[in-house]
Amino acid sequence: MINDKLPKIWYGGDYNPEQWDAPTWAEDERMFKLAGIDVATINVFSWAMLQPDEDTYDFSFLDAQMDRLYKSGTYVCLATSTAAHPAWMARKYPEVTQVDVKGRKRKFGGRHNSNMNSPIYRKFAERLASKLAERYKDHPALVAWHINNEISNYDYSEQSAAAFRVWLKKRYGSLDVVNKVWNTRFWGHTFYDWDEIVLPSELSEEWDGNNTNFQGLSLDFRRFMNDAHLECYLLEYNAIKKHCPNVQITTNLMGFYPGLNYFEWAEHLDVISWDNYPALDTPVSFTAMSHDLMRGLKSGQPFMLMEQTPSQQNWQPYNSLKRPGVMRLWSYQAVAHGADTVLFFQLRRSVGACEKYHGAVIEHVGHEHTRVFRETAELGRELQLLGDELLDARGEAKVGILYDWENRWAVELSSGPSVGLDYVNEIHKYYDALYQENIEADLIGLKEDFSKYKVIIAPVLYMLKPGVKEKIEAFVKAGGTFVTTYFSGIVNENDIVTLGGYPGELRNLLGIWAEEIDSLLPEMSNEIVMEKSWGELNGSYKCNLLCDLIHAEGAEVLARYGSDFYQGMPVLTANSFGEGKAYYVATSPDAAFLRGFLGNLCAEQNILPLVKAPEGIESVQRVKNGVSYLFLLNHTNGELSADIGSTERTDLLTGNKVSGTAAIPAHGVLILSDKK
Amino acid sequence: MINDKLPKIWYGGDYNPEQWDAPTWAEDERMFKLAGIDVATINVFSWAMLQPDEDTYDFSFLDAQMDRLYKSGTYVCLATSTAAHPAWMARKYPEVTQVDVKGRKRKFGGRHNSNMNSPIYRKFAERLASKLAERYKDHPALVAWHINNEISNYDYSEQSAAAFRVWLKKRYGSLDVVNKVWNTRFWGHTFYDWDEIVLPSELSEEWDGNNTNFQGLSLDFRRFMNDAHLECYLLEYNAIKKHCPNVQITTNLMGFYPGLNYFEWAEHLDVISWDNYPALDTPVSFTAMSHDLMRGLKSGQPFMLMEQTPSQQNWQPYNSLKRPGVMRLWSYQAVAHGADTVLFFQLRRSVGACEKYHGAVIEHVGHEHTRVFRETAELGRELQLLGDELLDARGEAKVGILYDWENRWAVELSSGPSVGLDYVNEIHKYYDALYQENIEADLIGLKEDFSKYKVIIAPVLYMLKPGVKEKIEAFVKAGGTFVTTYFSGIVNENDIVTLGGYPGELRNLLGIWAEEIDSLLPEMSNEIVMEKSWGELNGSYKCNLLCDLIHAEGAEVLARYGSDFYQGMPVLTANSFGEGKAYYVATSPDAAFLRGFLGNLCAEQNILPLVKAPEGIESVQRVKNGVSYLFLLNHTNGELSADIGSTERTDLLTGNKVSGTAAIPAHGVLILSDKK
Amino acid sequence: MINDKLPKIWYGGDYNPEQWDAPTWAEDERMFKLAGIDVATINVFSWAMLQPDEDTYDFSFLDAQMDRLYKSGTYVCLATSTAAHPAWMARKYPEVTQVDVKGRKRKFGGRHNSNMNSPIYRKFAERLASKLAERYKDHPALVAWHINNEISNYDYSEQSAAAFRVWLKKRYGSLDVVNKVWNTRFWGHTFYDWDEIVLPSELSEEWDGNNTNFQGLSLDFRRFMNDAHLECYLLEYNAIKKHCPNVQITTNLMGFYPGLNYFEWAEHLDVISWDNYPALDTPVSFTAMSHDLMRGLKSGQPFMLMEQTPSQQNWQPYNSLKRPGVMRLWSYQAVAHGADTVLFFQLRRSVGACEKYHGAVIEHVGHEHTRVFRETAELGRELQLLGDELLDARGEAKVGILYDWENRWAVELSSGPSVGLDYVNEIHKYYDALYQENIEADLIGLKEDFSKYKVIIAPVLYMLKPGVKEKIEAFVKAGGTFVTTYFSGIVNENDIVTLGGYPGELRNLLGIWAEEIDSLLPEMSNEIVMEKSWGELNGSYKCNLLCDLIHAEGAEVLARYGSDFYQGMPVLTANSFGEGKAYYVATSPDAAFLRGFLGNLCAEQNILPLVKAPEGIESVQRVKNGVSYLFLLNHTNGELSADIGSTERTDLLTGNKVSGTAAIPAHGVLILSDKK
């Protein structure tokens, strides 16, 4: 439980009383009550108000808001305001603004705009967090700390360059090692002095986003930026913990945001929180996967849904409304995947600046007689009904999908073999196949305990860091089923190729050799032709993107290419290894193949679908104290039914008893407990 | 009349004798005569020649050209040459070059390249204008002054930043007000010192054109840039007027150019002039609307067509030739809409640099035996025939379409709800419907006298500035018909939302409440279903882009949405208000709906089509001293006929008498006077 | 022969032993032998290793490699390493890094990254070349010198600006001339002091690549950049020649690379070499044309294929494998067109940085049991078999196609008439028509001896430099057939229009006048309607892009436009001039027209196809000492046959005798000698 002051699914969201006046605050209180809102995230962007100049701090406004909210029954998730420095600071200390990837020194403006390697910025940020913690540590309204906000952006200032050199010295000890791991003999880039190393920007080695001349340098720069941001975060974290050790601390993450390695952050967050902003055309299984990734950051620990919109965004190209029922449906989707809070951005729409057309619980009209408010209030009532029943319940997936940010960076920075290769998209293909089969999966990092799983899938495991091979081999040896794909095992943690034949360190485990990698033009495809029927797999399937030309070296060939000059070469292999099996998928298959393939693997491991249900139904399960809560979510416009088996279950929202066929209304939700 | 020295439609255009020699000048004189050319715009880009260094002015060349032209029968529209500073000035005073929106200090190059907030630039520009005025004020060739040229571009230098702070102090008095009207509490952007304010560039709050974090700041920056340019213009204007009070002064505008608020400029121009460069695929009704906007700048006062090409442009992607007859047709289109001059860019093609493939009256071949010259000479003869008959004649439209540059800036800067929303395009949809119905319309600004009109249409009147609501209400109360649309009445002049429900201050007038705004993806649409037949409106029509979810609060519902979750909600309403009616169109309708809808409104107000004519015929009317001149323009390749009614009219170009059905040849023009 | 130490087609390529260790070198030696590799290009990017600081040079590694390679039977093409300066130099002397077209000072990074106008860079580059030459001039392994690498990129530093002013002074003598040839009276850009001239970057006159306000300035800047690069090259060239006069020197060019005028370079290269990297969808006739351009640089002298990939690239969007046989096929295509070497980038794949996924003879797997190695070794054996038979053999084309880099710059910089005009593409249309007809053609420069040819084709000869008109007229007068097109003869070498009617100086020769130029939108087309049948030309053909509206002034009209307002005007004309004929093609025709038209012209000159063959067969011929070597290349997946006539020929690769119908296997090659 995040905080036992509030033993239920928290409900509320971002709230900016500093943009309003007392009569409006009174209306807020009235409407929060109507909507069942019990948590407000405040102080997210108030630095300029709290510290009007270098020497002055003024907490009077915040004091009053904390008290007021507490009195009106609203708890506070208290932010530290460090996501945007004040204008006076940018003017007095230009070093706090960033230099961008184009080499341009920025002026005051925007947010996420601070040079995280500026000592001035660090000093002021830490000091502010410390003062806040000291002042509010015992405030009765306080239920959680929220550091900064959606931490992001890279900096290319000279201060960051200097810090990078220090970071490199610490990591590698000597320039000789740096030259070696970056392979600087290439293009004669040997460094003889640390100060010769410059950051990889458009002025040096990078261009157009993820293009670089030196993958090793660019990878280390990303690691360094991750660490620099994390250092800043920890300055605040430790300052708060010192004063206030018992309230959980978080910072709101952003799902698959590419810039930071959240697995490293997770160790330093008491609880994960994240902001969920699917677009109208985001596949619902992608949202589900994002929740599972956030849940996986701390090995299944429930997380906070820190932000979502009640209605629409403002920053997408076309900001369509969430259709009636969809806000509720997607809120329960979050809960189903492990969220113990349902929080919005934002509780009241602002009147000016760039987020004023972002949806809010309280719209510009200001009263409660809106569709959005009504839906919000209905959900508020339900969450009160649910009480603490679901809190801390966890999933019990037996399938893990490996996801690794450093691997993603390396894949994206790779020059060749195909610009069509999108790591997250390939991960999603496998996730989606399981999702459609109603089989639970976890998104897991490399440090996860593999023994929790029967099947581990690692699409495009391009980079093998030290110890990973051993860990995978141990998993398979002990009886696990492992699946990987083309473009795996190619490089080490510095993007240096493992010689001796692809897939490098995984060759032995997989029993194959990938001699060549063919890149298909977007309009091209090949076929996966099954050697014989296997479960639902039969005949041939489409594949595209990349085709490894592989040779079986001990592995069984389950399917072969259907065309081109490598027609007949293996495309799907299985290799027995110890008690387990390791599969290699040499190309990017279509959805039908993946559903059949993963369905077969799970069936063989006795991993069964949660339900039998038509497309459009999502099934998820959380378990606590031996009781399972089965969520059935209908993502379509019409009523659908699912076969939940013979066990009688109780719908937590209606009290209805259900077994056999369960009908789920359009955009509806069932939460079915098997508690006796 | 612009100048009674030349009581006819002026004919000629831009002319650069400084690029040529004496034998060529002699040829020019011969050919100008052949073509009936009587006005040359000279000295547009001669600063470097007139002022070879800081202390030297040399007018000998210009003296000679003025005399020569006058002697050969050509009058002069005299430009001031300030649209491009000399190279020596950029070198000696780098402050005269601009800093661009990317934060880059520019070097010498291009045109429209001066930092309009540079005191040096201002000093030299004013001085040059003054010297020219003093010298040529009584020159017999002089018929008009032409300041600068196509004034445009924004500057982001430190000098502009300093001037912006002064401008803000003057406008708002205190930083408290600035913080309030920009809503700087958002993202903690509170300013405590004027010097903390920086210009909204890519280094601070803006990116990718019309994207900004702070709409209020970005709006004020545009107002400031408009004013700064206008200040420069006025320095020249006043310097000229001081010496030469009786010759009209203009600067050539650019139709719907987004960067400046021409309604504010119009007050300071003696006569409007503009440059008309339709592309091959520009709808002819868009050109018509542009003329009407230019005419509307000074409430219907005739304007100068300052530039058009006789044949082709050079700067479009594909510079197709104007087909035979089209130059004449489009020249008369300008006259029909209020132009009292027909001027070209350019009289003789240059031999080098980037405009050498721009069409000219005298082509590179140099003689008169070209299609282009022949067509030019034929038109010259006709314009001589027309004499002063049409001069000063005006339109008498009873329909006004509101257009406002500040509203446009606000709509374009808006973050959400849809990138598909293009203000000018929405304006054009309404204009085009009337155009196709052969109903005259004016483009009018907010300061126009509304009582001249029976119907006023204000598409996407997003920003309501002080007094506008009252003015509209008074118009309707007095019996006027008012039409507005979705995304209207939302914000005040600082882009701050008017609380209490959309469309804000217009709610009472319109008798509706817009609860939500849905944004449709480009491939989506909805339907407008009529409650009952109304004139030609019947059944259902397509709509797209944005759909307001409105509630009638007193208004009559004329049509409802045909699909989606808001099927059945009102989409077209009418509200009686005093003696008049206010209509709300909650979405962006198709052309058939708009023609029917506006046709109905006009019919009810007894506003009748000028003629009955098939598509492809444009009809326009100018009136002087009780005589009406009906222009019929055939924009197609084949002969077409129009029904002009029973009144007998005389074709000014042929002397033919016409009544009933009038035949207009392919690409032909009739100018039909009803003078007895 | 490039070097008589190795009297055969050299086989090998780029090799970077500095990235490897001794055991790998031993493997390299073994595998080079297996593959028949006899030449390695080394030291391409070793500057940082050779000169670890300003005062130290260390050749020990290079000494050892030279010796080792020689001992193992591999000759060395020795590079000078100046294509990427060391990091220490960039830090100590920031002037060696470039300023880019966006005005940004670059830091250390990338390659082709040196400011070629930096005296420091020049000093160090020359010194390094000199030391290398002195040291290795007599090394037995040395067979060629390779200066720098793929020289490219423009610099916009102040040093380059200063050098540009010097260059201009030398070229034009006075500012008056500069002002005149750049037509700076346009937009008042007159210069009064040399220092007022700035480089044409995004900060001044250019934007978005090939867009400029002043074509004259931008043209001269390109000439200057060409010369500045060439000066740097010559510093190295002369330094080497001084010590080592008898070994040939080259630098590897890049085919149609737009940035440099290779015809000017060719005079300073002992032998042309180039890097051939067709994409999967590059037409094979485009590759053929590129080879012919490289061959044409030195009037037909055989060249070096310096780089190609054995399998795939890494830097294309989709890096598809070369299908089996294609590497061999394209290698012979190079030989057929004049290559006397077949060299790869690279002999061994690197393990890190951005080219590690570029194909290599030795793949990451490290052994010889790969498809790629097997194909490489097979080709190696064949090249040994061929010995010196083909060396120094030359083509004997009677058709020349004019190609000129300065003309290309002028066409690309032109503002108008159409962005669709791509000079190289228009050249390729004509080349491809001859290619499909199996007629040999040379790509030739303006300085070529025209009398070698019966037909000269000059598509889009927009710029006529001094003497060119006279040279063309002399060619035709003497009986030659000359073909040119729309947009020819328009300007002089400074992009100043030749007045008096297009096509300017060519009017008399062509007997026509082009009154106007119409630009067609991409979806538009017109027709070429033949006046009467002519050979295979009959009826009508499509055309598009640009349409000159021409008048015959003595020329015979062979075809007329089929539509639009210029229907019936001439589109194809022929003018007798002296003993020859000059043709004008007034638009861009389709392929069928061009095959018929050029086929007719060749037939009339008794220029016969090499063979009769279906599409997919390429035929090329080299001749030495009266013996002709006919290459037949099958670019398709299936066997095809060609009719080679009755002469019996011997296939050099098989010894088979062939006459009449010759079958060429899928992706196969015949080299048929007519030696008795």
Tell me: is residue B534 an annotated ligand-binding position.
Answer: no
Mean pLDDT throughout C627-643? 98
Indicate the pLDDT class of residue C356, thresholds 50, 70 and 90: very high
DSSP assignment string, B360-386: -SB-TT-SS-SHHHHHHHHHHHHHHHH
| Active-site residue (options: A95, A205, A206, A307) | A307
CB within 8 Å: A312 and B416: yes
In chain C, residues with a C-beta closer than 8 Å to the C-beta of B311 are 516
Identify the pLDDT of residue B320. 96
- The answer for residues whose C-beta is within 8 angstroms of residue A278's C-beta and 6 or more apart is A284, A286, A287, A330
Q: Tell me the sheet residues that pair with A585.
A: A485, A572
Nearest-by-CA chain B residue for A106: B203
Residues C442-458, mean pLDDT to the nearest whole number: 98
Distance of CA A135 to the CA centre of its chain: 32
Burial status of residue B194 (CB atoms within 10 A of its CB: 0-12, 13-18, 19 or more): middle
- Do residue B109 and residue C198 have CB atoms under 8 angstroms apart? yes
The whole-chain average pLDDT of chain B stands at 98
- From residue A576, give the alpha-carbon distance in Å to each of A235, A479, A586, A604, B210: 49, 10, 17, 14, 59
The pLDDT of residue B280 is above 90? no
Mean residue pLDDT of chain A comes to: 98
Q: How far is C173 from chain B (nearest CA, A)?
A: 20
The residues in B 460-489 lying below 8 A from C, measured between CB atoms, are none
Within 501-560 of C, beta carbons closer than 8 Å to B belong to 501-502, 513, 515-522, 549
How much of chain C, in percent, has pLDDT values that exceed 90? Answer: 99
Residue of B104, B179, B189, B412 best to disrupt the A interface, most CBs of A under 10 A = B189
Active site residue ranges of B? 150, 307
Residue C578 has pLDDT above 90, yes or no: yes
- Cα A303–A306–A311 angle (5° rounding)? 130
As a whole number of angstroms, the distance between CA B593 and CA B596 comes to: 5
Q: Rounded to an integer, what is the distance from CA C537 to the centroid of its chain? A: 32
Under 8 Å CB-to-CB from A306, ≥6 apart: which residues?
A41, A146, A250, A252, A273, A274, A275, A341, A343
Ligand-binding site membership of B315 (annotated): yes
The torsion defined by the Cα of A508, A417, C43 and C121, in degrees rounded to 10, comes to -140
Identity of the residue in B106, B312, B366 whose CB atom sits nearest the CB atom of C500: B366
Q: A357 CB near a chain B CB, below 8 Å?
A: yes
pLDDT at residue number C431: 98
Question: What distance in Å separates residue B44's CA from the closest CA in chain C?
Answer: 8
pLDDT band at C280 (very low <50, low <70, confident <90, very high): confident
pLDDT at residue A676 in the model: 87
pLDDT tens by residue, B165-203: 999 999 999 999 999 999 999 999 999 999 999 999 999
| Sign of the Cα pseudo-torsion (A76, A77, A81, A84, in order) | negative
Tell whether A426 is within 8 A of chain C (Cβ). no
pLDDT of residue A280: 86
Q: What is the mean pLDDT of residues A606-630?
A: 98
| Cα angle C216, C221, C226; round to 5 | 130
d(CA C171, CA C173) in angstroms, rounded, equals 6
pLDDT value for A597: 98
Mean of pLDDT values over B217-244: 98
Q: Does the interface ipTM go beyond 0.95?
A: yes
Residue ranges of domains in chain B, CATH in brackets = 14-156+246-386 (3.20.20.80), 399-604 (3.40.50.880), 617-673 (2.60.40.1180)
B380-407 mean pLDDT: 98
Question: Chain A interface, mutation test: which of B186, B217, B569, most A Cβ atoms within 10 Å?
Answer: B186
Helix (H, G, I), strand (E, B) or coil at C624: strand
Q: Which two tokens stand for residue B139?
A: 């020159």
Best residue in C164, C182, C186, C507 to probe B by mutation, most B CBs within 10 Å?
A: C186
Interface touch A352/B198, C-beta < 8 Å:
no
Torsion of CA C38, C39, C40, C44, to 10 degrees: 180
Residues of A in contact with C88 (CB under 8 A): 192-193, 196
On the 0-12 / 13-18 / 19+ scale of CB atoms within 10 A, A386 is middle
Chain A: touching chains (3 or more CB pairs < 8 Å): B, C
Query: Is there a contact between A452 and A400 (Cβ–Cβ < 8 Å)?
Result: yes
Query: Are the beta carbons of A669 and A342 closer than 8 angstroms?
Result: no
Q: Which residues contact B163 (CB under 8 A, 6 or more apart)?
A: B117, B224, B228
Q: Give dist(CA C49, CA C17) in Å, integer.
A: 12
SS3 labels along B612-652: ECCCCEEEEEEEECCEEEEEEEECCCCCEEEECCCCCEEEC
β-pairing, C526-530 with C556-561?
Answer: antiparallel
A203·C318 Cβ contact <8 A: no
What's the rounded mean pLDDT across residues B627-631? 98
Q: Are A463 and A478 in contact (CB under 8 A)?
A: no
**Residue C433, min C-alpha distance to chain A (Å):** 28
Q: Do A86 and B188 count as a contact with CB atoms less than 8 A apart?
A: yes
Contact between residue A341 and residue A39 where contact means Cβ atoms under 8 Å apart: yes
Please, what sign has the CA dihedral across residues B611, B617, B623, B626? negative
Instruction: Output the six-digit token pair for A341.
Output: 């809070």
Render pLDDT for B32-53 as a digit per residue (tens, 0 to 9): 999 999 999 999 999 999 999 9
> Any chain B CB within 8 A of the CB of C357?
no
pLDDT higher than threshold 90 for residue C464:
yes
Tens of pLDDT, residues A186-241: 999 999 999 999 999 999 999 998 999 999 999 999 999 999 999 999 999 999 99
Contacts with A62 from chain B: Cβ below 8 Å: none
**How far, in Å, CA of B541 to CA of B561, rounded?**
10
Judged by CB atoms closer than 8 Å, whether chains meet at A186 and C352 is answered as yes
Q: What is the pLDDT of residue B214?
A: 98
pLDDT tens string B536-567: 999 999 999 999 999 999 999 999 999 999 99
B111 known ligand binder: yes
Whole-angstrom distance, CA of residue C339 vs CA of residue C325: 19
pLDDT of residue C421: 98
- Mutation for C interface: B61, B351, B371, most C CBs within 10 A: B351
Cα radius of gyration (chain B) = 26
| Residue B676 pLDDT exceeds 90 | no
Confirm or reject contact between C638 and chain A (CB < 8 A).
no
Residue C231: partners with Cβ closer than 8 Å, 6 or more residues away = C116, C122
Q: Model confidence over B311-361: pLDDT tens digits?
A: 999 999 999 999 999 999 999 999 999 999 999 999 999 999 999 999 999
Coil, strand, or helix at residue B233? helix
Measured CA distances, B589 to B513, B527, C439, C664 (Å): 19, 9, 60, 64
Answer whether B519 sits within 8 Å of A318, measured CB to CB: yes
How many Cα atoms are found within 13 Å in the side-chain-facing hemisphere of A61?
19
CB distance B519 to A314 below 8 Å: no
Name the maximum alpha-carbon separation found in chain C. 77
Tens of pLDDT along A412-465? Answer: 999 999 999 999 999 999 999 999 999 999 999 999 999 999 999 999 999 999
* Top-confidence residue, B208 or C333: C333
CA distance B100 to chain A (A): 13
CA distance A571 to chain B (A): 39
Residue B91 to chain C, least CA–CA distance (Å): 6
The residues of C assigned a catalytic role are 150, 307
**C-alpha distance from B155 to closest chain C C-alpha (Å):** 13
Contact C181, C172 (CB under 8 A): yes
Binding positions of C for substrate are 111, 149, 315
CB C334 within 8 Å of CB C308? yes
Percent of chain B with pLDDT over 70: 100
Selecting from B108, B281, B318 the residue whose C-beta is nearest the C-beta of C196 gives: B108
- Residue A150 sits at the vertex; the CA angle it makes with A147 and A151, to the nearest 5 degrees, is 75
Chains in touch with B (≥3 Cβ pairs < 8 A): A, C
Q: Average pLDDT for residues A12-36, to the nearest whole number?
A: 98
Q: Which residues of C are annotated as a binding site?
A: 111, 149, 315
Model confidence at B209, in pLDDT bands (50, 70, 90)? confident
Q: What is the pLDDT of residues A228-274, one digit of tens each?
A: 999 999 999 999 999 999 999 999 999 999 999 999 999 999 999 99
| Dihedral pair phi/psi, residue B137, rounded to 5° | -55, -30
Is A318 close to B198, i.e. CB distance below 8 A?
no
Give the A window 17-46 contacts with B, CB below 8 Å.
18-19, 45-46
Calpha distance A281→A599 (Å, rounded): 26
Query: Residue C676: is its pLDDT beyond 90?
Result: no
H or E element that contains C486? none
**C290 and B CB contact within 8 Å:** no
pLDDT at C232: 98
Give first-to-last CA distance, chain B, whole Å: 24
Residue among C631, C656, C635 nearest C644 (CA)? C631
Q: Are A293 and A286 in contact (CB under 8 A)?
A: no
Are C515 and B370 within 8 A, CB to CB?
yes
Mean pLDDT of chain C: 98
pLDDT for B464 beyond 90? yes
What dihedral angle (degrees, nearest 10) is formed by the CA atoms of C581, C582, C585, C591? 50
CB contact under 8 A, B565 and A104: no
Tokens read off for A145 = 């700390």
Residue C209's pLDDT is: 86
Contacts of A52 in chain B (CB under 8 A): 190, 192
pLDDT at site B395: 97
Specify the pLDDT at position A209.
86
Q: Tell me, yes or no, if A350 comes closer than 8 A to chain C by beta carbon.
A: no
> Shortest CA distance to B621 belongs to which of B385, B398, B379?
B398
**Percent of chain A predicted with pLDDT > 70:** 100
